[in-house]
Amino acid sequence: MGKLTDSIKEKIADIRPGIIATASKDGRPNVSAKGSLRVLDDDHLIFADISSPRTIANLKENSEVSILVLHPKSMRGCRIWGKGEVLSSGDIFDQMTAEFAERDLKVNHVVKITVEEAQDNF
């Protein structure tokens, strides 16, 4: 069994956007909303970089990432910690590029997050 429970997967699918936190190698934080956040499998999430230069720069320096998915009315959700990998080619990149091209959006990168810890219903 992976780190992502069915409950967490449902929250990620239902609640938009997911809030992504990164930090540079010097610790300067960045927070960015990602409507493209989704589950790849039991241990990985992905999101598309449409216009996220600071997020990508931070991940290239420091792969640590934290994610908050929070329903605005119930104030319930999940938290995820892991490591992000910036992809600019491959099957996942090609699939997301094609999907977003249908909406006239250019994908610069795809970030694949390996989940290290997930907390549900905080």
- Vertex 38, ends 33 and 42: CA angle to 5°? 135
| pLDDT above 90 for 39 | yes
State the first-to-last Cα distance of the chain, in angstroms, to the nearest integer: 21
Query: Residue 121's pLDDT band (boundaries 50, 70, 90)?
Result: confident
Look up the CATH number of the domain holding residue 23: 2.30.110.10
Q: Is residue 1 part of a domain?
A: no
pTM: 0.95
Q: Is residue 23 part of a domain?
A: yes
Q: Is residue 114 part of a domain?
A: yes
Q: Domain of residue 47: give its range.
A: 6-120
Tens-digit pLDDT profile for residues 59-96: 999 999 999 999 988 889 999 999 999 999 999 999 99
Q: Is residue 84 part of a domain?
A: yes
Q: What is the average pLDDT value for the chain, to the nearest integer?
A: 96
Q: Is residue 52 part of a domain?
A: yes
- 44-49: strand order across its sheet: 29-34, 18-23, 64-70, 77-87, 109-120, 44-49, 38-41
**Residues in a beta bridge with 65:** 82
The beta strands (E) that lie in 42-108 are given as 44-49, 64-70, 77-87
How many folded domains does the chain comprise?
A: 1
Q: Is residue 83 part of a domain?
A: yes
